[in-house]
Structure 1
Amino acid sequence: MPTYCTALVDAVHNDEELRLNLDLLEERRERAAIHEAKAKLKMTMYYNTRVRGVTFRPGDFVYRRNDASHVVDGGKLGPKWEGPYEVTEALRDGAYRLRSMDGTVLPRTWNIANLKKCYL
């Protein structure tokens, strides 16, 4: 017993419609890519208006995250930050060289994600 949908199918017309859909597929992909790019741009602009850029200059005092340096193992109640340290050199991409208060230079560079401004 044929159904209403199977009774109305025209094989020639159906093949033409499928070819047309394949021809329009690239255009739909381009539209989706444009829409995705607009959405990403909107999210980037939203984020950039609210983010506050932090940079340090030589001579600034900073705290260093204890998790990154593994100097003091205080457990759950231990100190989260250690320092203060003085920024001696600002390298590129948020990397800094630090010096402790007694004048010894720390042996490696530190990323801005592991530093916090110290207000003395």
Structure 2
Amino acid sequence: MPTYRTTAVDAVHNDEELRLNIDLLEERRECASIREVKAKSQMTKYYNARVRGVTFRPGDFVYHSNDASHAVAEGKLGPKWEGPYEVTEALEDGAYILWSMDGMILPRTWNIANLKKCYL
């Protein structure tokens, strides 16, 4: 039993329409990529307006995250930060070497994400 869809199709006209759709597809992709770049730039602008850049200099005192070091495991009521420690050297990409108050250098470098300013 033929349906309207199969009887109304015109093979020559259908091929032309498919070619036109392919041409329009490239245009839609270009428009989508333009919208994507615009949305990303807006998100970057929003983030940069609100982010607070934190850097430490040698001689600053900081706390480091207990989650990063796993030194004290007292459950959810345990301390979240350890310290204070003194920054001895600032490496690149937000890495720091810390000096404890006992006079020992901590055995690894610490990322800025795991440090918090200590106000003594």
TM-score > 0.5 by shorter chain = yes
Q: Secondary structure at the match of 2:93?
A: coil
Q: Which ranges of structure 1 fall in alignment gaps of 5 or more residues?
A: none
Give 1:22-33 correspondences, 5 Å limit: 22-33=22-33
One-letter identity of the residue aligned with 1:22 = I
| TM-superposition CA deviations, 1:28-84 (whole Å, max 9, x none) | 212211111111111111111001011101000000101111111111211110100
**CA offsets 1:1-40 (integer angstroms, 9 cap, x no match):** 754x666543322221111111222222122111111111
SS in 1 for 2:58: coil
Residue 61 of structure 1 is matched in structure 2 by: 61
C-alpha distance in 2 between matches for 1:76 and 1:52: 28
Q: Name the % identity.
A: 79
Which residue type is aligned with residue 95 of structure 1? A
Alignment coverage as a number of residue pairs? 119
Structure 1 vs Structure 2 CA RMSD: 1.5
Is the deviation greater in 7-16 or in 61-70?
7-16
What's the counterpart of residue 101 of structure 1? 101
Give SS of 2:79's match: coil
Amino acid in structure 2 at the alignment position of 1:32: A
Q: How does 1:1-120 map to 2 (within 5 A)?
A: 2-3=3-4, 8-120=8-120
What residue ranges of structure 2 are gaps of 5+ in the alignment?
none
Separation in structure 1 between the aligned mates of residue 51 and residue 75 of structure 2, nearest angstrom:
31
Query: What TM-score comes out, normalization by structure 1 length?
Result: 0.90
Q: Which amino acid aligns with 1:73?
A: A
TM-score computed with the length of structure 2 as normaliser: 0.90
Question: 2: CA distance between counterparts of 1:107 and 1:6?
Answer: 76
Q: Which amino acid aligns with 1:71?
A: A
2 CA distance for matches of 1:97 and 1:14? 69
